Structure 1
Amino acid sequence: MDIPHEPVRPALPAVRRVSAFAPLGWCLHALTDLQRAWLPALFYGVAFVVMGFLLFGLFARSPVMVMTLSAAFLLLGPFLAAGLYAIARDLERTGTASLRVSLTAWRGNVQSVTLFAALLAIMTFIWFRVSLLVFALFATGPLPTLDSLLTQMFAPADATLLVLWFGIGLAFAALVFVVSVVSIPMMIDREIDAFSAMLVSLRAVRANLPAMLVWAALLAGLALAGFASGTLGLAVTMPIAGLASWHAYRDMVSS
Protein backbone atom coordinates (compact mmCIF):
# COMPACT_ATOMS: atom_id res chain seq x y z
CA MET A 1 0.00 0.00 0.00
CA ASP A 2 1.33 3.39 -0.98
CA ILE A 3 1.86 5.75 1.93
CA PRO A 4 1.12 9.39 1.08
CA HIS A 5 3.97 11.76 1.76
CA GLU A 6 3.82 15.42 2.59
CA PRO A 7 5.46 17.57 -0.09
CA VAL A 8 8.96 18.61 0.90
CA ARG A 9 9.20 22.37 1.32
CA PRO A 10 12.30 23.79 -0.38
CA ALA A 11 14.97 24.99 2.03
CA LEU A 12 15.10 28.74 2.48
CA PRO A 13 18.13 30.58 1.09
CA ALA A 14 20.95 31.02 3.58
CA VAL A 15 21.64 34.48 4.97
CA ARG A 16 25.15 35.93 5.00
CA ARG A 17 26.60 38.36 7.52
CA VAL A 18 27.90 41.68 6.20
CA SER A 19 29.88 44.49 7.79
CA ALA A 20 28.19 47.51 9.31
CA PHE A 21 29.54 49.65 6.47
CA ALA A 22 28.34 47.37 3.66
CA PRO A 23 25.40 49.72 2.88
CA LEU A 24 27.91 52.35 1.73
CA GLY A 25 29.18 49.86 -0.83
CA TRP A 26 25.63 49.13 -1.97
CA CYS A 27 25.11 52.83 -2.64
CA LEU A 28 28.38 53.03 -4.58
CA HIS A 29 27.27 50.07 -6.71
CA ALA A 30 23.95 51.85 -7.24
CA LEU A 31 25.74 54.97 -8.51
CA THR A 32 27.64 52.80 -10.99
CA ASP A 33 24.39 51.16 -12.11
CA LEU A 34 22.79 54.59 -12.47
CA GLN A 35 25.60 55.66 -14.80
CA ARG A 36 25.32 52.47 -16.85
CA ALA A 37 21.52 52.54 -17.19
CA TRP A 38 20.62 56.14 -16.47
CA LEU A 39 17.72 56.33 -18.90
CA PRO A 40 15.54 53.46 -17.57
CA ALA A 41 16.54 54.27 -13.98
CA LEU A 42 15.61 57.94 -14.31
CA PHE A 43 12.26 56.92 -15.79
CA TYR A 44 11.39 55.58 -12.36
CA GLY A 45 12.94 58.61 -10.69
CA VAL A 46 10.75 60.94 -12.73
CA ALA A 47 7.72 58.79 -11.87
CA PHE A 48 8.47 59.33 -8.17
CA VAL A 49 8.78 63.08 -8.78
CA VAL A 50 5.42 63.17 -10.56
CA MET A 51 3.79 61.29 -7.68
CA GLY A 52 5.37 63.76 -5.27
CA PHE A 53 4.07 66.74 -7.25
CA LEU A 54 0.58 65.24 -7.32
CA LEU A 55 0.75 64.59 -3.59
CA PHE A 56 1.73 68.14 -2.68
CA GLY A 57 -0.48 69.70 -5.36
CA LEU A 58 -3.69 67.87 -4.50
CA PHE A 59 -3.33 68.26 -0.74
CA ALA A 60 -1.49 71.58 -0.47
CA ARG A 61 -4.19 72.92 1.88
CA SER A 62 -4.11 69.84 4.11
CA PRO A 63 -0.67 69.35 5.66
CA VAL A 64 -1.96 66.41 7.69
CA MET A 65 -2.86 64.58 4.50
CA VAL A 66 0.49 65.50 2.95
CA MET A 67 2.41 64.12 5.92
CA THR A 68 0.26 61.00 6.14
CA LEU A 69 0.41 60.22 2.43
CA SER A 70 4.14 60.98 2.30
CA ALA A 71 4.67 58.31 4.93
CA ALA A 72 2.35 55.95 3.03
CA PHE A 73 4.37 56.69 -0.11
CA LEU A 74 7.51 55.49 1.70
CA LEU A 75 5.77 52.38 3.07
CA LEU A 76 4.92 51.34 -0.49
CA GLY A 77 8.44 52.18 -1.68
CA PRO A 78 9.74 48.58 -1.75
CA PHE A 79 7.02 47.60 -4.23
CA LEU A 80 7.20 50.80 -6.28
CA ALA A 81 10.93 50.20 -6.82
CA ALA A 82 10.47 46.70 -8.29
CA GLY A 83 11.50 47.87 -11.75
CA LEU A 84 14.74 49.26 -10.35
CA TYR A 85 15.59 45.88 -8.84
CA ALA A 86 15.13 44.36 -12.29
CA ILE A 87 17.45 46.96 -13.83
CA ALA A 88 20.20 46.16 -11.32
CA ARG A 89 19.62 42.43 -11.85
CA ASP A 90 19.95 42.67 -15.62
CA LEU A 91 23.07 44.84 -15.36
CA GLU A 92 24.62 42.19 -13.14
CA ARG A 93 23.67 39.31 -15.44
CA THR A 94 24.05 40.74 -18.93
CA GLY A 95 25.63 44.17 -18.59
CA THR A 96 22.59 45.88 -20.12
CA ALA A 97 19.14 46.86 -18.89
CA SER A 98 15.85 47.51 -20.67
CA LEU A 99 13.01 49.69 -19.47
CA ARG A 100 10.51 47.40 -21.17
CA VAL A 101 11.81 44.34 -19.32
CA SER A 102 11.91 46.19 -16.00
CA LEU A 103 8.27 47.25 -16.33
CA THR A 104 7.21 43.61 -16.36
CA ALA A 105 9.73 42.30 -13.83
CA TRP A 106 6.99 41.13 -11.48
CA ARG A 107 5.51 38.73 -14.06
CA GLY A 108 8.11 36.05 -13.36
CA ASN A 109 6.66 35.52 -9.88
CA VAL A 110 3.36 37.31 -10.20
CA GLN A 111 1.45 35.50 -7.46
CA SER A 112 4.03 36.13 -4.74
CA VAL A 113 4.71 39.74 -5.74
CA THR A 114 0.98 40.48 -5.91
CA LEU A 115 0.40 38.98 -2.47
CA PHE A 116 3.27 40.97 -0.99
CA ALA A 117 2.00 44.16 -2.63
CA ALA A 118 -1.44 43.49 -1.14
CA LEU A 119 0.09 43.08 2.32
CA LEU A 120 1.97 46.37 1.91
CA ALA A 121 -1.26 48.05 0.78
CA ILE A 122 -3.09 46.74 3.86
CA MET A 123 -0.36 48.03 6.18
CA THR A 124 -0.41 51.37 4.39
CA PHE A 125 -4.20 51.62 4.74
CA ILE A 126 -3.95 50.82 8.47
CA TRP A 127 -1.27 53.51 8.84
CA PHE A 128 -3.49 55.99 6.99
CA ARG A 129 -6.43 55.39 9.33
CA VAL A 130 -4.31 55.35 12.49
CA SER A 131 -2.54 58.53 11.46
CA LEU A 132 -5.76 60.46 10.91
CA LEU A 133 -7.16 59.07 14.17
CA VAL A 134 -4.13 60.32 16.11
CA PHE A 135 -4.57 63.82 14.71
CA ALA A 136 -8.30 63.75 15.41
CA LEU A 137 -7.85 62.64 19.04
CA PHE A 138 -4.80 64.61 20.10
CA ALA A 139 -4.90 67.88 18.14
CA THR A 140 -5.38 70.70 20.67
CA GLY A 141 -5.60 73.56 18.22
CA PRO A 142 -4.97 74.33 14.55
CA LEU A 143 -3.16 71.47 12.88
CA PRO A 144 0.53 72.13 12.16
CA THR A 145 1.51 73.32 8.70
CA LEU A 146 4.40 71.85 6.78
CA ASP A 147 6.42 75.04 7.30
CA SER A 148 5.90 75.04 11.07
CA LEU A 149 6.12 71.31 11.65
CA LEU A 150 9.56 71.24 13.28
CA THR A 151 8.84 74.35 15.36
CA GLN A 152 5.50 73.07 16.64
CA MET A 153 6.92 69.64 17.33
CA PHE A 154 8.69 71.15 20.35
CA ALA A 155 5.76 73.33 21.42
CA PRO A 156 4.02 72.03 24.57
CA ALA A 157 0.56 72.10 22.98
CA ASP A 158 1.44 69.87 20.03
CA ALA A 159 4.49 67.96 21.25
CA THR A 160 2.49 64.93 22.39
CA LEU A 161 0.56 64.79 19.12
CA LEU A 162 3.56 64.97 16.83
CA VAL A 163 5.83 62.75 18.91
CA LEU A 164 3.07 60.12 19.02
CA TRP A 165 2.49 60.48 15.27
CA PHE A 166 6.17 60.10 14.47
CA GLY A 167 6.50 57.21 16.92
CA ILE A 168 3.65 55.25 15.36
CA GLY A 169 4.95 56.06 11.88
CA LEU A 170 8.39 54.83 12.86
CA ALA A 171 6.89 51.57 14.14
CA PHE A 172 5.07 51.01 10.84
CA ALA A 173 8.21 51.87 8.87
CA ALA A 174 10.31 49.49 10.96
CA LEU A 175 7.83 46.66 10.38
CA VAL A 176 7.79 47.23 6.63
CA PHE A 177 11.58 47.51 6.56
CA VAL A 178 12.10 44.24 8.42
CA VAL A 179 9.82 42.19 6.16
CA SER A 180 10.78 43.86 2.87
CA VAL A 181 14.49 44.67 2.99
CA VAL A 182 15.28 41.76 0.63
CA SER A 183 11.81 40.35 -0.11
CA ILE A 184 10.84 41.85 -3.45
CA PRO A 185 14.33 41.64 -5.00
CA MET A 186 14.31 37.97 -3.98
CA MET A 187 10.86 37.34 -5.47
CA ILE A 188 11.96 38.97 -8.72
CA ASP A 189 15.19 36.97 -8.77
CA ARG A 190 13.86 33.50 -7.91
CA GLU A 191 10.73 31.41 -7.42
CA ILE A 192 9.85 31.91 -3.76
CA ASP A 193 6.56 32.62 -2.03
CA ALA A 194 5.87 35.91 -0.27
CA PHE A 195 5.88 34.54 3.28
CA SER A 196 9.15 32.66 2.79
CA ALA A 197 10.69 35.82 1.33
CA MET A 198 9.55 37.80 4.37
CA LEU A 199 11.03 35.17 6.68
CA VAL A 200 14.38 35.37 4.89
CA SER A 201 14.19 39.16 5.14
CA LEU A 202 13.58 38.90 8.88
CA ARG A 203 16.57 36.57 9.24
CA ALA A 204 18.76 38.94 7.21
CA VAL A 205 17.86 41.84 9.49
CA ARG A 206 18.43 39.79 12.64
CA ALA A 207 21.84 38.57 11.41
CA ASN A 208 22.98 42.05 10.35
CA LEU A 209 21.56 44.53 12.84
CA PRO A 210 24.44 47.07 12.67
CA ALA A 211 24.36 47.10 8.86
CA MET A 212 20.57 47.32 8.86
CA LEU A 213 20.61 50.36 11.14
CA VAL A 214 23.05 52.06 8.78
CA TRP A 215 20.98 50.99 5.77
CA ALA A 216 17.73 52.26 7.29
CA ALA A 217 19.40 55.60 8.07
CA LEU A 218 20.69 55.88 4.50
CA LEU A 219 17.26 55.09 3.04
CA ALA A 220 15.64 57.67 5.31
CA GLY A 221 18.28 60.21 4.34
CA LEU A 222 17.74 59.59 0.63
CA ALA A 223 13.98 59.98 1.03
CA LEU A 224 14.30 63.15 3.11
CA ALA A 225 16.75 64.65 0.63
CA GLY A 226 14.30 63.95 -2.16
CA PHE A 227 11.36 65.54 -0.36
CA ALA A 228 13.44 68.47 0.94
CA SER A 229 14.17 69.50 -2.64
CA GLY A 230 10.47 69.84 -3.38
CA THR A 231 10.41 66.20 -4.57
CA LEU A 232 12.71 67.01 -7.53
CA GLY A 233 15.54 65.19 -5.81
CA LEU A 234 13.50 61.99 -5.85
CA ALA A 235 14.50 61.68 -9.52
CA VAL A 236 17.96 60.67 -8.31
CA THR A 237 17.59 59.54 -4.70
CA MET A 238 14.88 56.94 -5.35
CA PRO A 239 16.77 55.20 -8.18
CA ILE A 240 19.84 55.07 -5.93
CA ALA A 241 17.76 53.54 -3.12
CA GLY A 242 16.14 50.99 -5.44
CA LEU A 243 19.34 49.94 -7.20
CA ALA A 244 21.22 49.72 -3.91
CA SER A 245 18.46 47.51 -2.49
CA TRP A 246 19.25 44.91 -5.13
CA HIS A 247 22.88 44.86 -4.04
CA ALA A 248 21.76 44.58 -0.40
CA TYR A 249 19.81 41.47 -1.34
CA ARG A 250 22.69 39.95 -3.32
CA ASP A 251 25.14 40.65 -0.52
CA MET A 252 23.04 39.20 2.30
CA VAL A 253 21.24 36.26 0.64
CA SER A 254 23.08 33.32 -0.91
CA SER A 255 22.47 32.38 -4.53
Structure 2
Amino acid sequence: MVSTIGNPLSWGAKNIGKAGREVAHAAQHAVEGEVRELPEVHAITYGDIRAALKAGVDDFLHFRSDVIMACLLYPVIGLCLMGFAFNKGVLPLLFPVLSGFALVGPVAALGLYELSRRRERGESAVWADTLNVLRAPGFGGILLLALGLGCWYFLWIVSAWFVHEFTMGGAAYPDTTSFLSAVLGTSGGWMMMVIGIPLGFLFALVALAFSILSFPILVHRDVGLARAVAASIRLMQLSPGPVLAWGAVVVAGLVIGSVPLLLGLAVTLPILGHATWHLYRRAVG
Protein backbone atom coordinates (compact mmCIF):
# COMPACT_ATOMS: atom_id res chain seq x y z
CA MET A 1 0.00 0.00 0.00
CA VAL A 2 1.35 3.37 -1.00
CA SER A 3 1.97 5.79 1.90
CA THR A 4 1.14 9.41 1.19
CA ILE A 5 1.68 12.66 3.04
CA GLY A 6 -1.59 14.02 4.37
CA ASN A 7 -2.88 17.53 4.24
CA PRO A 8 -0.48 19.77 6.23
CA LEU A 9 -3.39 21.21 8.22
CA SER A 10 -4.78 17.81 9.20
CA TRP A 11 -1.24 16.51 9.94
CA GLY A 12 -0.56 19.52 12.19
CA ALA A 13 -3.90 19.24 13.97
CA LYS A 14 -3.33 15.53 14.56
CA ASN A 15 0.11 16.05 16.10
CA ILE A 16 -1.00 19.05 18.16
CA GLY A 17 -3.85 16.95 19.51
CA LYS A 18 -1.46 14.12 20.34
CA ALA A 19 0.92 16.51 22.12
CA GLY A 20 -1.98 18.02 24.01
CA ARG A 21 -3.11 14.60 25.24
CA GLU A 22 0.42 13.77 26.38
CA VAL A 23 0.72 17.07 28.25
CA ALA A 24 -2.68 16.51 29.88
CA HIS A 25 -1.63 13.00 30.91
CA ALA A 26 1.65 14.30 32.38
CA ALA A 27 -0.20 17.05 34.27
CA GLN A 28 -2.73 14.54 35.62
CA HIS A 29 0.09 12.27 36.81
CA ALA A 30 1.88 15.23 38.43
CA VAL A 31 -1.26 16.03 40.42
CA GLU A 32 -2.35 12.48 41.26
CA GLY A 33 1.01 10.68 41.45
CA GLU A 34 1.76 6.97 41.42
CA VAL A 35 1.17 6.26 45.12
CA ARG A 36 -2.53 6.73 45.84
CA GLU A 37 -2.31 6.85 49.65
CA LEU A 38 -2.05 10.03 51.69
CA PRO A 39 1.25 10.07 53.64
CA GLU A 40 0.82 9.42 57.35
CA VAL A 41 1.51 12.73 59.10
CA HIS A 42 2.43 13.01 62.79
CA ALA A 43 2.28 16.10 64.97
CA ILE A 44 5.64 17.76 65.59
CA THR A 45 6.91 19.53 68.70
CA TYR A 46 9.28 22.40 69.39
CA GLY A 47 11.81 19.72 70.28
CA ASP A 48 11.50 18.32 66.75
CA ILE A 49 12.33 21.77 65.38
CA ARG A 50 15.45 21.98 67.55
CA ALA A 51 16.48 18.48 66.52
CA ALA A 52 15.88 19.24 62.82
CA LEU A 53 17.97 22.41 63.05
CA LYS A 54 20.77 20.51 64.79
CA ALA A 55 20.69 17.85 62.06
CA GLY A 56 20.61 20.60 59.43
CA VAL A 57 23.75 22.20 60.87
CA ASP A 58 25.39 18.77 60.95
CA ASP A 59 24.57 18.18 57.29
CA PHE A 60 25.83 21.65 56.41
CA LEU A 61 29.15 21.02 58.14
CA HIS A 62 29.43 17.68 56.34
CA PHE A 63 28.72 19.15 52.89
CA ARG A 64 30.07 22.62 53.70
CA SER A 65 32.19 23.42 50.63
CA ASP A 66 29.75 21.71 48.27
CA VAL A 67 26.60 23.47 49.41
CA ILE A 68 28.23 26.89 49.78
CA MET A 69 29.37 26.73 46.17
CA ALA A 70 25.93 25.56 45.08
CA CYS A 71 24.12 28.25 47.11
CA LEU A 72 26.27 31.25 46.19
CA LEU A 73 23.84 31.75 43.32
CA TYR A 74 21.11 32.99 45.68
CA PRO A 75 23.03 36.00 47.07
CA VAL A 76 23.91 36.89 43.47
CA ILE A 77 20.22 36.78 42.49
CA GLY A 78 19.31 38.89 45.52
CA LEU A 79 21.96 41.49 44.72
CA CYS A 80 20.72 41.68 41.13
CA LEU A 81 17.19 42.30 42.39
CA MET A 82 18.47 44.98 44.75
CA GLY A 83 20.35 46.62 41.89
CA PHE A 84 17.20 46.58 39.79
CA ALA A 85 15.20 48.24 42.58
CA PHE A 86 17.78 50.97 43.12
CA ASN A 87 18.47 51.73 39.47
CA LYS A 88 14.94 51.48 38.08
CA GLY A 89 13.30 53.77 40.59
CA VAL A 90 11.14 51.09 42.20
CA LEU A 91 12.46 51.45 45.75
CA PRO A 92 9.03 50.70 47.27
CA LEU A 93 9.40 47.14 45.94
CA LEU A 94 12.82 46.54 47.51
CA PHE A 95 11.50 45.08 50.76
CA PRO A 96 8.70 43.02 49.11
CA VAL A 97 11.17 41.59 46.60
CA LEU A 98 13.68 40.55 49.27
CA SER A 99 11.11 39.35 51.80
CA GLY A 100 9.56 37.25 49.05
CA PHE A 101 12.52 34.90 49.37
CA ALA A 102 10.52 33.29 52.18
CA LEU A 103 7.80 32.38 49.65
CA VAL A 104 10.09 30.70 47.12
CA GLY A 105 12.79 29.51 49.53
CA PRO A 106 11.59 25.87 49.45
CA VAL A 107 12.27 25.79 45.70
CA ALA A 108 15.84 26.99 46.28
CA ALA A 109 16.42 24.15 48.76
CA LEU A 110 15.32 21.27 46.52
CA GLY A 111 18.82 20.00 45.81
CA LEU A 112 19.69 20.13 49.51
CA TYR A 113 16.90 17.69 50.33
CA GLU A 114 18.56 15.23 47.96
CA LEU A 115 21.94 15.60 49.70
CA SER A 116 20.38 15.02 53.12
CA ARG A 117 18.44 12.03 51.77
CA ARG A 118 21.59 10.43 50.36
CA ARG A 119 23.56 11.01 53.55
CA GLU A 120 20.71 9.56 55.59
CA ARG A 121 20.95 6.39 53.47
CA GLY A 122 24.70 6.20 54.00
CA GLU A 123 25.48 7.08 50.37
CA SER A 124 28.28 9.41 49.27
CA ALA A 125 27.20 12.74 47.84
CA VAL A 126 28.74 15.87 46.31
CA TRP A 127 27.24 19.14 45.12
CA ALA A 128 26.57 17.71 41.64
CA ASP A 129 24.12 15.28 43.25
CA THR A 130 21.79 18.21 43.90
CA LEU A 131 20.84 17.85 40.23
CA ASN A 132 19.45 14.37 40.96
CA VAL A 133 16.30 16.14 42.06
CA LEU A 134 15.51 16.32 38.34
CA ARG A 135 14.93 12.56 38.57
CA ALA A 136 12.86 12.77 41.75
CA PRO A 137 9.82 10.45 41.85
CA GLY A 138 7.43 13.40 42.08
CA PHE A 139 9.26 15.80 39.78
CA GLY A 140 6.11 16.69 37.87
CA GLY A 141 4.42 17.76 41.09
CA ILE A 142 7.57 19.67 42.08
CA LEU A 143 7.38 21.65 38.84
CA LEU A 144 3.72 22.51 39.34
CA LEU A 145 4.23 23.56 42.96
CA ALA A 146 7.29 25.63 42.07
CA LEU A 147 5.27 27.36 39.36
CA GLY A 148 2.47 27.99 41.83
CA LEU A 149 4.83 29.52 44.40
CA GLY A 150 6.37 31.66 41.66
CA CYS A 151 2.91 33.00 40.79
CA TRP A 152 2.20 33.55 44.49
CA TYR A 153 5.45 35.53 44.77
CA PHE A 154 4.49 37.65 41.76
CA LEU A 155 1.04 38.27 43.25
CA TRP A 156 2.71 39.42 46.48
CA ILE A 157 4.86 41.92 44.57
CA VAL A 158 1.83 43.27 42.73
CA SER A 159 -0.16 43.51 45.97
CA ALA A 160 2.69 45.34 47.71
CA TRP A 161 2.85 47.82 44.84
CA PHE A 162 -0.90 48.52 45.07
CA VAL A 163 -0.62 49.01 48.83
CA HIS A 164 2.12 51.59 48.23
CA GLU A 165 0.08 53.36 45.57
CA PHE A 166 -2.97 53.43 47.83
CA THR A 167 -1.17 54.73 50.93
CA MET A 168 1.58 56.90 49.44
CA GLY A 169 -0.17 58.22 46.35
CA GLY A 170 2.44 57.03 43.87
CA ALA A 171 5.23 59.15 45.43
CA ALA A 172 8.69 58.98 43.81
CA TYR A 173 11.93 58.82 45.80
CA PRO A 174 15.30 60.08 44.58
CA ASP A 175 17.24 57.89 47.01
CA THR A 176 16.95 55.36 49.82
CA THR A 177 17.12 58.02 52.55
CA SER A 178 14.10 59.89 51.22
CA PHE A 179 12.17 56.65 50.89
CA LEU A 180 12.88 55.62 54.50
CA SER A 181 12.00 59.11 55.70
CA ALA A 182 8.66 58.95 53.89
CA VAL A 183 7.89 55.47 55.29
CA LEU A 184 8.82 56.25 58.89
CA GLY A 185 7.89 59.93 59.04
CA THR A 186 4.52 60.24 57.33
CA SER A 187 1.02 58.98 58.10
CA GLY A 188 0.92 57.33 54.67
CA GLY A 189 4.10 55.42 55.44
CA TRP A 190 2.71 54.13 58.73
CA MET A 191 -0.53 53.16 57.00
CA MET A 192 1.49 51.27 54.39
CA MET A 193 3.17 49.25 57.14
CA VAL A 194 -0.12 48.66 58.99
CA ILE A 195 -1.62 47.17 55.80
CA GLY A 196 1.47 45.67 54.21
CA ILE A 197 2.94 43.72 57.15
CA PRO A 198 -0.22 41.71 57.94
CA LEU A 199 -0.75 41.16 54.21
CA GLY A 200 2.80 39.85 53.86
CA PHE A 201 2.23 37.57 56.87
CA LEU A 202 -0.88 36.16 55.17
CA PHE A 203 1.06 35.45 51.96
CA ALA A 204 3.85 33.76 53.94
CA LEU A 205 1.37 31.72 55.99
CA VAL A 206 -0.33 30.31 52.90
CA ALA A 207 3.02 29.45 51.30
CA LEU A 208 4.16 27.77 54.52
CA ALA A 209 0.97 25.71 54.83
CA PHE A 210 1.26 24.51 51.23
CA SER A 211 4.98 23.78 51.11
CA ILE A 212 6.39 22.85 54.53
CA LEU A 213 6.24 19.13 53.64
CA SER A 214 5.28 19.12 49.96
CA PHE A 215 8.71 19.42 48.34
CA PRO A 216 10.50 16.88 50.58
CA ILE A 217 7.64 14.42 50.08
CA LEU A 218 7.79 14.77 46.29
CA VAL A 219 11.58 14.35 46.33
CA HIS A 220 11.10 11.14 48.32
CA ARG A 221 7.97 9.56 46.84
CA ASP A 222 5.53 9.99 43.97
CA VAL A 223 2.32 10.74 45.87
CA GLY A 224 1.25 13.55 43.55
CA LEU A 225 0.97 17.24 44.20
CA ALA A 226 -2.54 17.07 45.68
CA ARG A 227 -1.57 14.56 48.39
CA ALA A 228 1.72 16.32 49.14
CA VAL A 229 -0.07 19.63 49.71
CA ALA A 230 -2.76 17.87 51.75
CA ALA A 231 -0.03 16.41 53.98
CA SER A 232 1.46 19.88 54.50
CA ILE A 233 -1.90 21.34 55.44
CA ARG A 234 -2.52 18.37 57.74
CA LEU A 235 0.71 19.13 59.60
CA MET A 236 -0.42 22.74 60.02
CA GLN A 237 -3.68 21.48 61.52
CA LEU A 238 -1.95 19.04 63.87
CA SER A 239 0.85 21.35 65.03
CA PRO A 240 -0.04 25.00 64.39
CA GLY A 241 2.29 26.35 67.09
CA PRO A 242 5.44 24.45 66.03
CA VAL A 243 4.72 25.09 62.33
CA LEU A 244 4.43 28.84 62.95
CA ALA A 245 7.61 28.65 65.03
CA TRP A 246 9.32 26.95 62.10
CA GLY A 247 8.14 29.74 59.82
CA ALA A 248 9.63 32.28 62.25
CA VAL A 249 12.91 30.35 62.22
CA VAL A 250 12.97 30.49 58.40
CA VAL A 251 12.30 34.23 58.38
CA ALA A 252 14.99 34.81 61.02
CA GLY A 253 17.46 32.75 59.00
CA LEU A 254 16.75 34.77 55.87
CA VAL A 255 17.11 38.05 57.76
CA ILE A 256 20.42 36.97 59.30
CA GLY A 257 21.57 35.69 55.92
CA SER A 258 20.88 39.09 54.38
CA VAL A 259 23.82 40.59 56.30
CA PRO A 260 26.18 41.52 54.81
CA LEU A 261 24.97 42.06 51.25
CA LEU A 262 22.97 38.80 51.27
CA LEU A 263 26.19 36.74 51.35
CA GLY A 264 25.06 35.04 54.54
CA LEU A 265 22.34 33.30 52.52
CA ALA A 266 25.05 30.94 51.27
CA VAL A 267 25.17 29.63 54.86
CA THR A 268 21.66 30.08 56.27
CA LEU A 269 19.81 28.70 53.23
CA PRO A 270 21.69 25.37 53.24
CA ILE A 271 21.13 24.95 56.98
CA LEU A 272 17.41 25.66 56.61
CA GLY A 273 17.17 23.40 53.57
CA HIS A 274 18.82 20.44 55.29
CA ALA A 275 16.77 21.06 58.44
CA THR A 276 13.55 21.03 56.39
CA TRP A 277 14.38 17.52 55.20
CA HIS A 278 14.89 16.30 58.77
CA LEU A 279 11.69 18.02 59.91
CA TYR A 280 9.87 16.16 57.14
CA ARG A 281 11.34 12.85 58.29
CA ARG A 282 10.06 13.52 61.81
CA ALA A 283 6.59 14.49 60.61
CA VAL A 284 5.87 11.83 57.98
CA GLY A 285 5.85 8.13 58.78
User: Same fold, TM exceeding 0.5?
Assistant: yes
Q: Distance in 2 between matches of 1:93 and 1:150?
A: 54
Q: What's the % identity of the aligned pairs? A: 24
Q: Distance in 2 between matches of 1:64 and 1:144?
A: 12
CA RMSD, aligned part only?
A: 2.3
Q: Distance in 2 between matches of 1:200 and 1:25?
A: 21
Letter in 1 for 2:255: L
> Is 1:182 paired with 2:208?
no
Give 2:229's match in structure 1, choosing from 187, 198, 212: 198
By how many angstroms is 1:20 displaced?
2.0
Give 1:113's match in structure 2, choosing from 142, 158, 164: 142
Q: Distance in 2 between matches of 1:144 and 1:168?
A: 27
* Rg (Cα) greater in structure: 2
TM-score by length of 1: 0.88
Contact 2:82 2:94 in 1 (8 A): yes
Q: Distance in 2 between matches of 1:249 and 1:144?
A: 46
TM-score by length of 2: 0.80
Q: Distance in 1 between matches of 2:112 and 2:91?
A: 30
Deviations 1:159-214 (A, max 9, x none): 11122112111111100001100100110011111111000000011111221122
When structure 1 is superposed on structure 2, of 205-214 and 245-254 the one drifting more is 205-214
User: Which residue matches 1:84?
Assistant: 112
Paired residues for 1:16-31 under 5 Å: 16-31=42-57
Q: Distance in 2 between matches of 1:68 and 1:214?
A: 21
By how many angstroms is 1:71 displaced?
2.8
Letter in 2 for 1:43: M
Q: Distance in 1 between matches of 2:174 and 2:205?
A: 25
Letter in 2 for 1:114: L
User: Which residue matches 2:25?
Assistant: none
> Is 1:123 paired with 2:149?
no
Paired residues for 1:133-212 under 5 Å: 133-140=162-169, 141=171, 149=180, 152-153=183-184, 155-212=186-243
Could you tell me which runs of 5 or more consecutive residues in structure 1 were left unpaired when the two chains were aligned.
1-7
- Give the total of aligned pairs: 247
> Is 1:73 paired with 2:101?
yes
Contact 1:185 1:246 in 2 (8 A): yes
Could you tell me which runs of 5 or more consecutive residues in structure 2 were left unpaired when the two chains were aligned.
1-33
By how many angstroms is 1:101 displaced?
2.1
Q: Distance in 1 between matches of 2:251 and 2:70?
A: 18
